[in-house]
Amino acid sequence: MQGHGFATNVICGAAIVLAFTVTAPAQNNRSFVATTGNDANNCSASAYCRTFAAALAVTNPGGEIVEVNSGGYGPATITQPVVITAVGVDASITATSGNGLTINTAGNVTITGLNLHGGGTGSVGVEVQAVGFLRLYSMQIENFVNYGVDFPAGGNLAIYDSKINDCGGAGLNVRNAAAKAYVHNTAFDNDNIAGALANDGGMLAIADSSRALQS
């Protein structure tokens, strides 16, 4: 019996180790956020999180965050390569102070379908401190005090099928000699200084777009 008891203890010990392994924080290849979510969840398809910030914390570099339903998901700082997808829903970030999104990663970031609102007091819609290649598809960025998209970093930027308006600085400011930016099918209007600026040697090409009613 003693032998049996020893064996049982070994098995229990193994089970405890296994339990600790299983309950370690999950890192998802794909995370989900919804207005019905909770940031205490693991952001899986069956246990949504509430905010981008929580989802980013449990998403693998190069993974994806999916917006499940329409609503606001809060400002966030992105420090890893990631794909954020909001297709078929009205997913927004309202930033009445600070930036809507701050990006600081050497990797690539792709964002589709997000609406960023500054409420006339938020600083910048998308502040790019560092990035490999930032792709913004079907975005609406509006009403920030400074810029819709500020790109003081080197790296590449592509904006497709978007609207950037009512920003106090410029809709887009590319201001690094190592930056290459391309804009396609995008409308800039009523941004205070200019629709799109290429400063400090930054390279910017715009096609099939419009810039109207800038002061």
Partner 1 sequence: MALYSDAVLFNTTGMDADGNGVPTFSGQLSFADCLVSNSTNSYVNAGTVAGSNPGTTLITPGQSSGGLLSPAIGLQ
Cβ closest to partner 1, residue 111 vs residue 183? 183
Cβ closest to partner 1, residue 115 vs residue 146? 146
Cβ closest to partner 1, residue 15 vs residue 200? 200
Kindly state the tokens that stand for 15: 């089970």
Residue 183 identity (one-letter amino acid): V
Contact between 12 and partner 1 by CB under 8 A: the answer reads: no
Cβ closest to partner 1, residue 145 vs residue 194? 194
User: Of 192-211, which residues contact partner 1 (CB under 8 A)?
Assistant: 194-201, 203-211
CB 72: neighbour CB atoms within 10 A? 16
Binding-residue total with partner 1 (CB under 8 A): 22
From residue 27, how far is each of 16, 31, 122, 141, 191 by CA, in Å? Answer: 21, 9, 31, 30, 40
Tokens 């978007």 sit on residue? 162
Minimum distance from CB of 133 to partner 1 (Å)? 19
Cβ closest to partner 1, residue 92 vs residue 186? 186
Options 2, 29, 46, 215; binder of partner 1; rule CB under 8 A: 215
Q: Give the separation between CA 35 and CA 42, rounded to whole angstroms.
A: 15
Minimum distance from CB of 197 to partner 1 (Å)? 8
Q: Give the separation between CA 213 and CA 186, rounded to whole angstroms.
A: 14
Residue 77: phi, psi to the nearest 5? -110, 130
Contact between 37 and partner 1 by CB under 8 A: the answer reads: no
Cβ closest to partner 1, residue 54 vs residue 204? 204
Minimum distance from CB of 83 to partner 1 (Å)? 28
- Could you tell me which stretch among 31-39, 68-76, 125-133, 190-198 binds partner 1 (CB under 8 A)? 190-198
Minimum distance from CB of 193 to partner 1 (Å)? 9
Site string for partner 1, 148-187 (x = CB under 8 A): -----------------------------x----------
Q: Binding residues for partner 1, per CB under 8 A?
A: 177, 194-201, 203-215
